[in-house]
Amino acid sequence: MATGQLFSRTTQALFYNYKQLPIQRMLDFDFLCGRETPSVAGIINPGAEGFQKLFFGQEEIAIPVHSVIDAACAAHPTADVFINFASFRSAAASSLAALKQPTIRVVAIIAEGVPESDAKQLIAYARANNKVVIGPATVGGIQAGAFKIGDTAGTIDNIIHCKLYRPGSVGFVSKSGGMSNEMYNTIARVTDGIYEGIAIGGDVFPGSTLSDHILRFNNIPQVKMMVVLGELGGRDEYSLVEALKQGKVNKPVVAWVSGTCARLFKSEVQFGHAGAKSGGELESAQAKNQALRDAGAIVPTSYEALEAAIKETFDKLAEEGKITPVKEVTPPQIPEDLNTAIKSGKVRAPTHIISTISDDRGEEPCYGGVPMSSIVEQGFGVGDVISLLWFKRSLPRYCTKFIEICIMLCADHGPCVSGAHNTIVTARAGKDLVSCLVSGLLTIGPRFGGAIDDAARYFKDAYDRNLTPYEFVEGMKKKGIRVPGIGHRIKRGDNRDKRVELLQLFARTNFPSVKYMEYAVQVETYTLSKANNLVMNVDGAIGSLFLDLLAGSGMFTKPEIDEIVEIGYLNGLFVLARSIGLIGHTFDQKRLKQPLYRHPWEDVLYTK
């Protein structure tokens, strides 16, 4: 066990099992104390490596993250404190691994419930190798103005209130972390504050004892008096009694053992800590308090009188000139986190993204304002979901059914079209699903599947301007523009695309109006008079019918319809639908274990 000071203003720690809030509190304490370097040198997060962004004052810093303890210790040889936030299941193994590192001097174990046999093994190893274990079941410790472990002393407001940003003259040790916070406040009210405070933890076998730390404090010149807060159960306090009797402590010790109320209960009482249970008269709070009093400690008559006893002891030392008044300093202002400041109404900040189609902040996600549960309970289909997310309204059932039919009809068109071909070649190159899908999607454009928007745009413009099919087609010809939605490499006037016929049949049966579709049919009649392959294709059918859907539903204004066509909603339908087929082709090639594709020479015209 160390015989003097554990920490200093240059102490650095390794933090095991990343927890954002305790680390940030440590860094905020560093800044409050005016440290030049952060007290957290590195983070050990099993299975992860890289960096973790945190704040050191107003500056954002990147703290290295290591996956194993020995690598972290090698990377940060000056970090000699190991703060272990592992669960009780792995705390012992990771703590022992840390103790075996030559660079680690102090290990703090936060977890409760560490098996007693494991705790004993850790204690034995630490004592044999002159190392210090704080805990298990501890909040940690603090040296005022220098270094703190994890959540010790709580919030920054509490730290400032307790004057922990600068050193005082009192050494404090307790079993309880929660009561430590209370005592820091009490000590700050009636003295110049603490110099160092340690919570050894409430387990039956703590890694270091009350007397271990009192003897350390006795060797630290800056510590002028000590305060001890024990509790019923166990016999740890008696080691302090023996140290006092043997004259090993020559500074005033104010002590109190909590749990005097246990005698009011008829049966044995287990208090909060594992070790806080009296196993007989010697382990009672009353017996311990009396033994400490008899050994020379200053023991008040009750906990309520503890503050007065601390004040009286401190004032006496000050009168004797043994304590030099501490020069008060004004700590720097810790920058407030943006989220905290926004919640408190202190600042306002612009958002970076606007979303109007979905919201995941409540108990369940909402699509277009409709809760997910309602979508399922009302039996909504894919078309209904698209209407909510794309059009921000719940369209009539015939509209959503039409959307679903479009998706089904456009899902795939065989392996020979450019999108499927690209996907197949990419899959056979051993690429992942997303790469295969994207390679196929990238072929969608004016020449393949991307003419739906243009078909809708041109058909709408021609119809709204009352152009005859002749005027429309010949006008496009003069501009050198092919009529989108007209023409097919395979289909002819006497061999119509079945998909087009199915869409037209559904629309004539269910739509209130099909004026745009009928106009497109008239255009087709004129183009077929020129060539038998200038038949309406699926792009033209979907484009014209979607205009009828938007106009006939009565749910969209003219500017909204123009915007929908302009943005590219209709091509979105083809992209969504064809993704189904492209994914299918990817899985098909991988399932068939097809080799790398190489295009045959005989299918290439080599020319100069």
DSSP 533-595: T--B-HHHHHHHHHHHHHHHTS-S-HHHHHHHHHHTHHHHHHHHHHHHHHHHHHHHHHHTT--
pLDDT at residue 248, as a whole number: 96
In angstroms, rounded to a whole number, what is the distance separating the alpha carbons of residues 303 and 320?
26
Q: Say whether 134 sits in a helix, a strand or coil.
A: strand
Strand ranges, E, within 216-373: 225-231, 253-258, 358-359, 366-367, 370-371
Q: State the Cα torsion 393-394-396-401 to the nearest 10°.
A: 110
Tokens of 82: 């190991």
Closest by CA position to 64, among listed 48, 88, 80: 48
Average the pLDDT over 57-69 and give the result. Answer: 96
| pLDDT tens-digit series, residues 541-575 | 999 999 999 999 999 999 999 999 888 898 899 99
State pLDDT tens for residues 505-551.
Answer: 999 999 999 999 999 999 999 999 999 999 999 999 999 999 999 99
The CA distance from 15 to 83, in Å, is: 5
pLDDT score, position 274? 47
The candidate with the shortest Cα–Cα distance to 467, out of 423, 526, 408, is 526
Distances (CA, A) of 552 to 466, 517, 545: 18, 12, 10
Q: Do 551 and 389 contact (CB within 8 A), yes or no?
A: no
In contact, 253 and 223? CB cutoff 8 Å: no
Tens digits of residue pLDDT in 493-506: 889 999 999 999 99
Q: What is the pLDDT of residue 356?
A: 94
Nearest to 95 by CA among 72, 126, 74: 126
Q: Which distant-in-sequence residues (6+ apart) come within 8 Å of 550 by Cβ?
A: 556, 560, 561, 564
Catalytic residues: 273
Reported as type and span, the H/E element at residue 44 is strand 40-44
Per-residue pLDDT tens digits for 422-443: 999 999 999 999 999 999 999 9
- Using alpha carbons only, give the angle 90, 96, 101 rounded to the nearest 5 degrees: 130
112: pLDDT confidence band, cut at 50, 70 and 90? very high
Omega of the bond prior to 595 within 30 degrees of 0, cis? no
Confidence check: pLDDT of 270 > 70: no
**How many Å apart are CA 133 and CA 111, to the nearest integer?**
13
Q: Which residue has the tokens 């008829």?
A: 266
pLDDT score of 486: 93
Is the model's pLDDT at 273 over the cut of 60? Answer: no
pLDDT digits (tens, 9 = 90+) for 11-31: 999 999 999 999 999 999 999
Cα angle, residue 467 at apex, residues 464 and 470 outer, rounded to 5°: 150
554: tokens are: 């009565």
Whole-angstrom distance, CA of residue 84 vs CA of residue 135: 10
Q: Tell me: the pLDDT tens digits for 247-266?
A: 999 999 999 999 876 565 55
Is pLDDT above 90 for 371? yes
Whole-number pLDDT of residue 490: 87
Residue 89: how many other CB atoms lie within 10 Å: 11
Question: Does the model's pTM come out above 0.75?
Answer: no
Integer Cα distance of 143 and 152 in angstroms = 10
267 pLDDT more than 90: no
